[in-house]
Amino acid sequence: MRRSLLFAAFFAATGLATSASARIAPEPRDCVLTVGPAQMSFTAFQEQKTHETFCRHVPDAGRTIIILDAHQSELRGMTVEIRIVRNVGQHEWNDDLDANTEFTLPARKYLASNGTASFEYSFPRDGDYIALVRATSEDGNKEYIGQYFFSVGETIERFLAAAAMLVALSFVCFGIWGGKANKPPRGPAGVAQRRVV
């Protein structure tokens, strides 16, 4: 019974760590941002360090290639502006936009040929960021805004997720060890013997 409770506590704590790290290591289906009625995939590479691809969490600051792929053809006919913005907890996408912008890809029809826009940016520091996509129709009657939240390097969120996992594992190990230490000794026939006080 005690062991069952310990494992239940472990899985509960692990669940907290998993939810905290859900934005850190998502499934590929989560690498999507919504731009008006359309969607785009977000992919990041750091080819000088690894051949892996990333989306919600880029492991290190530095040179990074970002690729945005449009899922619907509507975006191909639109002018697109792309920004990398520091995530400082702003309530609206345009709050202090210029002050928080780290990089801007000027408005052009980047998606016209194959629906893909790619660019390179060297992140100067670890932190939380937003890839902001602003798509405007040729006649100016439609404007779509898309935001994709991601992190770079060691952020407080990653630290808290790792700490929660460590606490959960320590709790389980201590519980199992403590349970073994408190077991009464068994006789030769496997019958528990009473302790004499």
Q: Tell me: the pLDDT tens digits for 33-46?
A: 999 999 999 999 99
Say if CB 61 and CB 123 are below 8 A apart.
Answer: yes
pTM above 0.75, yes or no: no
Say if CB 185 and CB 157 are below 8 A apart.
Answer: no
Q: What is the pLDDT of residue 48?
A: 87
Per-domain residue ranges of the chain: 1-27+156-186, 31-154
Q: Which CATH code fits 31-154?
A: 2.60.40.2550
Say if CB 119 and CB 84 are below 8 A apart.
Answer: no
Q: What is the pLDDT of residue 26?
A: 39
* Listed residue (73, 86, 152, 140) closest to 113, CA to CA: 73
Q: Encode pLDDT of 58-71 as tens digits.
A: 999 999 999 999 99
